[in-house]
Chains A and B, each alone.
Chain A
Amino acid sequence: MDEVIRVEGLTKNFGQLQVLRGIDCSVRSSEVVCVIGPSGSGKSTFLRCLNGLEEASGGRVLVHGVSVHDNSTDVDALRSEIGMVFQRFNLFPHMTVLDNITLAPTKVRGVPLEQAREQARALLIKVGLLDKIDAYPNQLSGGQQQRVAIARALAMQPAIMLFDEPTSALDPEMVGEVLSVMQTLAEEGMTMMVVSHEMGFARRVANRVLFMDEGVLVEEGTPEEIFDRPREERTRRFLSNIL
């Protein structure tokens, strides 16, 4: 099936507060989709609903045709298909870089340890951190930690990677190294959904850009359509504020 994720009428409330007000969209295989929008527009919540870190209040999310929020769904198996990269990296501080990467493949997939380590080395080469293989997370810079976090997610060979503002906790000089890893991934054909404030990255790498505001998808299109010829007034106002 070409469609990796399909979202239908997704809503999410925190108590009285309506964060998502009915979102429909889909992501095809090998597509890179960037989600942009002002703070508090519900972008992160939307992303977290996709792998069930947040419960949906209504509507549904299908990953390869399986509903994420059904009680009968094996959510752990489903999540192992969906890589996620967090704003604050969330590396496991008590484990070395190598152990961070091999934990899930060995425990969830039952990959033999040697094989998992071999794969971890390959991934570390890919993100340019093989020399840090035995380091602990607190010995790494923010940019390095985020690249390890990407390698950790990739180790499960996910069908799609979700990035939740992967560069907003980084010092400016480290943003580039993380974005370039992400760009390489995209060029290799990884399916990606990226919540980001990096408009340059979105323009350069994304196939499609979604603009979200106040819990609704206001507008979607190619980067050129969104950045150069936005149809909606709200999109225009947002872009003129940040560019």
Chain B
Amino acid sequence: MEPILWFGWFRADIIAEYGVMFWRGLQMTILVTTICIMQGTALGLAIGLARLADARHSPARQICRYLLRWPSTVYVSFFRGTPLFVQILLIHFAVLPLFINPADGLLISGETARSLKQNYGAFISGILALTLNSGAYISEIFRAGIQSIDRGQIEASRSLGLSFARTMTHVVLPQAFRRMLPPLGNNAIALLKDSSLISAIGLAELAYTARTVAGAYSRYWEPYLSISFMYWTLTLGLAWAVKKLEARYGRGDTR
């Protein structure tokens, strides 16, 4: 391919040559981010509630304390207190082979394990690591959001005869969700950017593509500037979507 120079120095032909890979990488980045945002939010809600779990009478009181609050606190502390990069490597090279392994996988072994690992190994590990990591951060957002709701709201709801679960779903969480939207949006943007770390275990997303191109041509401006613009566009899109959501759900909040 003939070198095509933009502005006298930008080798556009390199990007065109790897166009398919950039396109697939972009799709992979979006897919991973979307899955992790959804799973991380669900996990974060569960962990956030577990961290707030309490009951008035034993044995429920002890169950809440030892089976819900303590494990979830340790979980959050671990995933917030260790680097995501380390978590990805740990899960991919240590934890996952324990469970999915052709020789002696605890969960899946044999030929299934082999084909699973080869086709989806990095994908599974990456999603797992990013979900667990963002779940820990999101649980803190949920916890703070729930705790920010005035006790009077819960009392009013309970005194109308709504159960704890209904009070949560109809009264507390909808209000908390509004307040959590900005931090959740920040978290989603962080997650999008952090997904680039999964390239280290060979998942063909955007950063991996850029690394491939840089490796082949020893040129850095073209691939990394290109993916920077792609990430930037995506984060701008996410920020815009969060703003729309805030405008839509922001009514009625007196704060």
Q: A and B touching (C-beta < 8 Å)? A: yes
Chain A contacts with B in 60-103, Cβ cutoff 8 A: 71, 76-84, 86, 88, 90-95, 103
Q: Are A108 and B160 in contact (CB under 8 A)?
A: yes
Binding site for A on B (CB under 8 A): 56-57, 150, 152-153, 155-163, 166, 170-171, 174-175, 178, 251-254
- Of the listed residues B150, B156, B166, B251, the one surrounded by the most CB atoms of chain A closer than 10 A to its CB is B156
State whether A92 and B153 are in contact (beta carbons under 8 Å apart), knowing that A77-B161, A108-B162 are contacts in the complex: yes
Distance (whole angstroms) from the CB of A62 to the closest CB of chain B: 18
Q: Are B161 and A108 in contact (CB under 8 A)?
A: yes
Nearest residue (CB) in A for B249 is A94
Q: Is the interface of B mostly helix, strand, loop or mixed?
A: helix
State whether A156 and B175 are in contact (beta carbons under 8 Å apart), knowing that A88-B152, A103-B170 are contacts in the complex: no
Q: Are A82 and B159 in contact (CB under 8 A)?
A: yes
Q: Are B160 and A53 in contact (CB under 8 A)?
A: no
> Is A136 at the interface (CB under 8 A from chain B)?
yes
Q: Which residues of B contact A149 (CB under 8 A)?
A: 156
Bound state CA distance, A84 and B253, in angstroms?
A: 23
Bound state CA distance, A78 and B13, in angstroms?
A: 74
Q: Are B160 and A80 in contact (CB under 8 A)?
A: yes
The one of B160, B252, B253 that contacts A104, using a Cβ cutoff of 8 Å:
B160
Q: Which residues of B contact A214 (CB under 8 A)?
A: none
Q: Which residues of B contact A78 (CB under 8 A)?
A: 161
Q: Are A79 and B160 in contact (CB under 8 A)?
A: yes
Q: Are A53 and B159 in contact (CB under 8 A)?
A: yes
Bound state CA distance, A93 and B252, in angstroms?
A: 5
Distance (whole angstroms) from the CB of B169 to the closest CB of chain A: 9
- Of the listed residues B150, B153, B161, B252, the one surrounded by the most CB atoms of chain A closer than 10 A to its CB is B161
Nearest residue (CB) in B for A71 is B57
> Is A55 at the interface (CB under 8 A from chain B)?
yes
Bound state CA distance, A107 and B152, in angstroms?
A: 19
Q: Which residues of A contact B160 (CB under 8 A)?
A: 79-80, 103-104, 108, 152-153, 156
Bound state CA distance, A80 and B157, in angstroms?
A: 10
